[in-house]
Structure 1
Amino acid sequence: MRVIFALLFWLVQSLGVMAGPLTRDQVEPFIIPPYALGESVGDKGVWSLRNSGGAEAGYVFETALMAPLPGFSGAPINMLVMLDLEGRFIDVRLIAHNEPIFVSGLGEAPFRKFMEQYRGHSIHTPMVVGTSYGTEGGGGGLVYLDGVVKATASVRIAHESILAATLQVAREKMQGIKSTPPAHPDPDHDEPLTWTDLVDQGIARNLRVTNAEVDAAFSGTLWAEDDPEAKADPEGIYLDLWLVDVGPASIARAVLPDDAFADLQRFLSVSGFDEPLLVIDAGRHGLVSDGFVRNTAPDLLGASQDGLPLALRDADLVFSTLSGVPEGTAMILRTDRRLGFDPARDWVFEVKATRAHGMFQPEIGIVAFTLTHSTPERFFARAAVATPLPPWAEAVRNRATDLILLAIALPALLLALGPGMNRLAGHRRFTVIRLSILALVTVFIGWWAQAQLSIVTPLAILRTVIDGGSFAYLLYDPVSLLVWAFAIAGFVLWGRGLFCGWLCPFGALQEFSHHLGRFLRLPKVEPGALWDARLKLVKYGLLAGLVATVFIAPDQIDTAAEIEPFKTAITTFFVREPVFVAYAGFWLVLGLFTFKGFCRYVCPLGALMAVGGMLRGRNWIARRTDCGTPCQLCRVRCSYGAIKPSGAVDYSECFQCLDCVAIHNDTTRCVPLILAAKGRPLHKEKAA
């Protein structure tokens, strides 16, 4: 009854997780100041985001409801994304997941660390999980996010979920955001220009305001009479401002002498993302107030683009200008292109005119004059709109070396166990060869390539079939998928033996453990034939229990799958909580005395492999009529107990170790062959 109640609890819990979007009380703790949660804007877990002043600042949403891509547990990874109105990630937070490697393996810390990488990046910049392999400039416009060692497939699934959900919100809620890559000065563009050319082509633009116009702007306000100079000279020039973007080298040469141009280039070599803007005022405004401090934001100047403010800052450069350029108060400002500024599109420059009313603690009045500016596109280059590879292709590219080595090694192993089987089994160094292969499997396939197959994958596939989801997540781990392909090929050719006997890293560790036990002359402890047969049924019961868990409590499948010690011994290399290390260690210590006890009696993946082995098309191990009647040598020598007293091979328990093949072909060990050599007729071979 306790088991039934526990299963019912798991079922209710799992249904509750996916019942609907989080409530306001559940979402608010994830919001980081100075932002605040706004109102719900849909039925898919999307909320508006407010800034400290209460204005709309972006959106907050869950990924699982809009992009329910199944993870390796078969369930989606749910994350909370905060996106500003320009399409930049403010934050990405983990809400819930059942990824086995993070649940009780590596822990959630590296998963959360991975998600921190999105902050500040724009959805308009293609992002992939992996490395640029030395591609200069970040890989041609791509942003590469560092994956998590031992969990690359899971973070790829999370990444695709984040992008899919974010793009859906952007399409539905943020149609006005720009989609072109920002411009930056083209270093290859060289064009002779003069100041007159800049003015005639609109590259240098002028904002001219008279005293009368300033008076008109303050007319009817408290400050209408607070500028006697303007009253005295209405036609006088209050503001005669020239604005030119000197980021492009051709434009800068038309304005600055050689020494000033060289200083500017040295500045840009250090601040490569800054766009320099030359401002000159020949009027009495003067650009800055008396309290202005160099290398800070000018208090009387501002800029905006697409209705959003641009951050201006004094470049703190001392310079002169060429003859012919208007004289006056001059300064070079800078603004960061990484924050969204595009100098080739219209933007607005703003100059504030201020007046003070009163002697003590005067009241300050402000009016603004604006100038729209843009620099022709020909002076700039834009990063090519990089198209990321499909996730599966990116995964293949990042694992190319491992895949190539496996693509060579696995077919060679198939040939050795197929056409070359008799030669391999009869080699005088066969045991050394076998152990060497198992060592490579443990180190390369297991610890290095992280391709230890697990029952979690078939169970996730089953859950995906039930839920009607996508199987794309299988492609995110191409190395494991390749090993699965060869394991399935082994089903057809030999049964379970190819994987269980040759390609399972944990199985290899157990075999090494048993050889160590023999070297240390420890006692060998094996159950009798009856108990051996009974214990071999346990793994099928465990497999059935895990399949039932998929239907009854799917969110608990990763916990139930801990019956496998693979994650501890292979995936995390024993760096886990003590209880898991003790469990994996138990099976390896038992292996000193009992040959591969976990594989033979407990492994649910082995049970599935045995079921899959029914696809085997033939009995590939040769037997003779004398095998079993009367010769029992192969049965006695079989460490797996896979040969019946009749001499027939039980392929559901055969690990393809080739020991019986070696005996069958050895004239010094095979009893029928020995008798035949002494003149006794040799019986024909029979099916195994």
Structure 2
Amino acid sequence: MRFVVMILFWLSSAVALAAAPLSRAEVEGFIIPPYALGDPVNDQGVWSLLNSGGAEAGYVFETGPLAPLPGFSGAPIDMLVMLDLEGRFIEVRLISHNEPIFVSGLGEAPFRKFLEQYRGLSINTLMVVGVPYGEGAGGNGVTYLDGVQKATASVRIAHESILAATLAVAREKMQGVHSAPPAHPDPDHDEALDWAALVEQGIARNLKVSNAEVDGAFAGTVWADDDAEAAADPEGTFLDLWLVDIGPPSIARAVLDDEAEAELARFLRLSPDAEPLLVIEAGRHGLVTADFVRNTAPDLLGAMQDGLPMELRDADMIFATEPDVPEGVAMILRVDRRLGFDPARDWDLQVKALRAHGMFQPEIGSATFTLTHATPERFFVRAEVAAALPAWLEALRGRMWDLVALVLALPVLLLALGPGMDRLAGHPQFGAIRLAVLAGVTGFIGWWGQGQLSIVTPLAVLRTALEGGSFAYLLYDPFSLVIWVVAILGFVLWGRGLFCGWLCPFGALQEFAHKLGRLFRLPVWEPSARWDGRLKGLKYVLLAGLVATVFVAPDRVDAVAEVEPFKTAITTYFLRDAVFVIYAAFWLILGTITFKGFCRWVCPLGALMAIGGLLRGRDWIARRAECGSPCHLCKVRCKYGAIAADGKVGYSECFQCLDCVTIHNDAQTCVPLVLAARGRRLAAKAEAGA
């Protein structure tokens, strides 16, 4: 132990370095056609994404530098995300990870298949890893992503990393893409309005530009003198444009005549996600050029919201307005709310003024004028979207019934091994009770609940502490976390015994293997007491090596941790590569002739738990003065070699099997009690003879 403490002290000065973002050549290897990699946006692994024509189409970025959420190995899961300008996922690709279940358990294929589900989804969509929960859960606007069996916690961490990194890019480069649900006109809102009221309340807004202002926009350019009409009448009107959102029925009634209002209602029934906008232009600018084609995007008008372009299209409607509405060239345009347009928030209508310079193949110049518009919130309703639960709460909900069973069972075990220890050890069917508990641990905690504790978790905690990361990943597997809490409680009260003797599924498998060996009358092999002591020191050396790996080669921790056969025997049901299966089978086969050799000599988690034998609050196994001299019965029968020649219990090696407690309390077995009873009988006979 002193050796281990010295190594830990020496290594605590090391500094863990975070991985640098991928180089350009490495990122290009992940880009899928027809896209191409553009220029770097920052030094955190964010790049622009180009389409086949060389125009900006979105962003490419790594999750690791932007959202370094630690996985179960303590290292972040690094993925590459391709996102278009409208906030939709083009592709999510796996770069690197150290998740134990995927490194050498299930393989990476299920992980990559999980990531394929993001294609085409928008970051405006609420996404949850899991299945719909409760009545009507499938219709609440939530997209459910299929998890990976036996790896739900890892894919939850990956999902959180993807969203955190994506939203970081969206906030910086795509402001407003991730926003509240878009507003839809409220059909039940009824308000008496006319054109004067619309103007007074800012619902109808006007953009007026004089000829002088247009000349000012082109001043200093080659087009400065190319508009003779503007020069001749500087005070004249170039642009007199009105804009009003006629999606809300109350506004439409105030603007359109009855026939046009009915036509608009029919249009909206066919296109329920379209937001209709009425534009009227009374100046000489007009709304479109002579080349404009109906039902397409107007060539002189554009829209922007949150710095992102919104597509305007002609609704191709012929209509008439109310008498008090200004006259002019009028069009009804439409914007698709599904693309993120929110009519209740500020957006900009951009009007382009064009000038041509030259007679043959004239050079075209443009100036843009902007009108900001928003329709009051009272005219709209927003879809109620379920709030995303924290990832840890989703995990808790997903394992609810397993946790209920676990939380009911573990206190019973603690009471039986604590206050009820003597009664349990003295029960006539104690052997059968213990085997039943171990069967439940193997089946329910191990194979069903995937609650096999591993040295990987303490090492990940150590790495996270060194790197100053978050420990939130521990909450993603609440089933194992509950077992950890109870194991730590046992660590303080009894040492390694509670976990190693009662809660470790692989330890239980070894015990069943030994029972099988006895059933088939196989020979028993045990090393000498000297060699047993030497072999017990091996687990501390392995523990020190694993801790050292955290400092000198953190990416190799999961590979080195394969010294534990837990993942093979419990997590993957022996469905792994042959070398891992052979290794796990070796310890179980050895267990048929040697009692729990892996637990006693090799297990690094057992070595860590053994420290509890030094920290326990009391000596909880009762001893007598005769224990060790002259009686050695408990020492001889202790299969763990945890009782010394002087009768003292070595709690660092005690597995809390309670065999010695049974012997100690049994008047028919404990030698001091048997001798004392014999002495009393002899004394009684002598007294009777006298």
The residue aligned with 2:527 is: 528
Q: What SS class does the counterpart of residue 64 from structure 2 fall into?
A: coil
Q: What SS class does the counterpart of residue 80 from structure 1 fall into?
A: strand
Question: Cα 1:372–1:419, aligned 2, differ >3 Å: closer, same or farther?
Answer: closer
Matches within 5 A, 1:277-292: none
- Does the 8 Å contact 1:86/1:177 carry over to 2? no
- Does the 8 Å contact 1:310/1:341 carry over to 2? no
TM-score by length of 2: 0.75
The residue aligned with 2:463 is: 463
CA offset at residue 103 of structure 1? 1.3
- Does the 8 Å contact 2:183/2:342 carry over to 1? no
State how far apart, in whole Å, the 2-side matches of 1:561 and 1:244 are: 66
Question: Cα 1:341–1:349, aligned 2, differ >3 Å: closer, same or farther?
Answer: farther
- Does the 8 Å contact 2:442/2:506 carry over to 1? yes
Question: Cα 1:552–1:376, aligned 2, differ >3 Å: closer, same or farther?
Answer: closer
The residue aligned with 1:100 is: 100
The residue aligned with 2:446 is: 446
- Does the 8 Å contact 1:292/1:299 carry over to 2? no
Matches within 5 A, 1:5-404: 18=18, 20-32=20-32, 33-39=34-40, 41=42, 44-52=43-51, 53-83=53-83, 89-118=89-118, 129=129, 133-134=133-134, 146-166=146-166, 169=169, 173-174=172-173, 177=176, 180-185=179-184, 187=186, 189-191=189-191, 245=245, 247-248=247-248, 250=250, 267=270, 274-275=274-275, 304-306=304-306, 308-311=308-311, 333=334, 335-342=336-343, 344-348=345-349, 374-382=374-382, 391-393=391-393, 395-404=395-404
The residue aligned with 2:430 is: 430
Q: What SS class does the counterpart of residue 567 from structure 1 fall into?
A: helix
Question: Cα 1:298–1:56, aligned 2, differ >3 Å: closer, same or farther?
Answer: closer
Question: Which has the larger displacement, 22-31 or 392-401?
Answer: 392-401
The residue aligned with 1:595 is: 595
AA at the equivalent of 2:549: T
Question: Cα 1:136–1:276, aligned 2, differ >3 Å: closer, same or farther?
Answer: farther
AA at the equivalent of 1:335: D
- Does the 8 Å contact 2:71/2:157 carry over to 1? yes
Q: What SS class does the counterpart of residue 656 from structure 1 fall into?
A: coil
Q: What SS class does the counterpart of residue 576 from structure 2 fall into?
A: coil
State how far apart, in whole Å, the 2-side matches of 1:443 and 1:82 are: 42
AA at the equivalent of 1:548: A
State how far apart, in whole Å, the 2-side matches of 1:115 and 1:648 are: 56
CA offset at residue 418 of structure 1? 0.5
CA offset at residue 504 of structure 1? 0.8
State how far apart, in whole Å, the 2-side matches of 1:71 and 1:262 are: 53
CA offset at residue 637 of structure 1? 3.1
CA offset at residue 100 of structure 1? 1.7
The residue aligned with 1:615 is: 615
State how far apart, in whole Å, the 2-side matches of 1:123 and 1:333 are: 23
Deviations 1:519-552 (A, max 9, x none): 3x14043213333333322222222222222233
Q: What SS class does the counterpart of residue 30 from structure 1 fall into?
A: coil
Question: Which has the larger displacement, 410-419 or 96-105?
Answer: 96-105
CA offset at residue 500 of structure 1? 0.3
CA offset at residue 46 of structure 1? 3.7
CA offset at residue 413 of structure 1? 1.3
1:484 equivalenced with 2:484 (yes/no) = yes
Q: What SS class does the counterpart of residue 38 from structure 1 fall into?
A: strand
Question: Which has the larger displacement, 401-410 or 414-423?
Answer: 401-410
Q: What SS class does the counterpart of residue 348 from structure 1 fall into?
A: strand
State how far apart, in whole Å, the 2-side matches of 1:105 and 1:376 are: 56
Deviations 1:385-409 (A, max 9, x none): 9875655455445444444433332
Question: Which has the larger displacement, 473-482 or 112-121?
Answer: 112-121
State how far apart, in whole Å, the 2-side matches of 1:646 and 1:671 are: 15
What RMSD in Å do the two structures reach over aligned CA positions? 5.4
Question: Cα 1:318–1:518, aligned 2, differ >3 Å: closer, same or farther?
Answer: farther
Q: What SS class does the counterpart of residue 541 from structure 2 fall into?
A: helix
AA at the equivalent of 1:615: L
- Does the 8 Å contact 1:275/1:337 carry over to 2? no
Question: Cα 1:243–1:164, aligned 2, differ >3 Å: closer, same or farther?
Answer: closer
Tell me the number of residue pairs that the alignment of Structure 1 and Structure 2 aligns. Answer: 654
State how far apart, in whole Å, the 2-side matches of 1:620 and 1:111 are: 47
- Does the 8 Å contact 2:312/2:333 carry over to 1? no
The residue aligned with 2:8 is: none
State how far apart, in whole Å, the 2-side matches of 1:614 and 1:352 are: 84
AA at the equivalent of 1:654: C
State how far apart, in whole Å, the 2-side matches of 1:169 and 1:334 are: 25
Question: Cα 1:67–1:335, aligned 2, differ >3 Å: closer, same or farther?
Answer: closer
State how far apart, in whole Å, the 2-side matches of 1:469 and 1:371 are: 47
AA at the equivalent of 1:348: L
- Does the 8 Å contact 2:628/2:646 carry over to 1? yes
State how far apart, in whole Å, the 2-side matches of 1:135 and 1:151 are: 26
Determine what percentage of the aligned residue pairs are the same residue.
Answer: 64
Question: Cα 1:55–1:268, aligned 2, differ >3 Å: closer, same or farther?
Answer: closer
AA at the equivalent of 1:438: L
State how far apart, in whole Å, the 1-side matches of 2:287 and 2:471 are: 65
Q: What SS class does the counterpart of residue 555 from structure 1 fall into?
A: helix
- Does the 8 Å contact 2:287/2:300 carry over to 1? no
1:407 equivalenced with 2:407 (yes/no) = yes
Question: Cα 1:661–1:280, aligned 2, differ >3 Å: closer, same or farther?
Answer: same
Unpaired runs of at least 5, structure 2: 1-10, 210-221, 227-238, 357-363, 683-690
- Does the 8 Å contact 2:16/2:466 carry over to 1? no
State how far apart, in whole Å, the 2-side matches of 1:570 and 1:80 are: 32
CA offset at residue 153 of structure 1? 3.5
State how far apart, in whole Å, the 1-side matches of 2:29 and 2:607 are: 45
Question: Which has the larger displacement, 414-423 or 578-587?
Answer: 578-587
Deviations 1:393-451 (A, max 9, x none): 55445444444433332222111100011111222222232222222222332233322
- Does the 8 Å contact 1:22/1:45 carry over to 2? no
AA at the equivalent of 2:527: G
1:502 equivalenced with 2:539 (yes/no) = no
Q: What SS class does the counterpart of residue 111 from structure 1 fall into?
A: helix
The residue aligned with 1:5 is: none
CA offset at residue 559 of structure 1? 0.4
State how far apart, in whole Å, the 1-side matches of 2:431 and 2:277 are: 76
Deviations 1:169-221 (A, max 9, x none): 556x4385467524322555344668997788676789999xxxxxxxxxx99
State how far apart, in whole Å, the 2-side matches of 1:548 and 1:307 are: 50
The residue aligned with 1:544 is: 544
Question: Cα 1:255–1:438, aligned 2, differ >3 Å: closer, same or farther?
Answer: farther
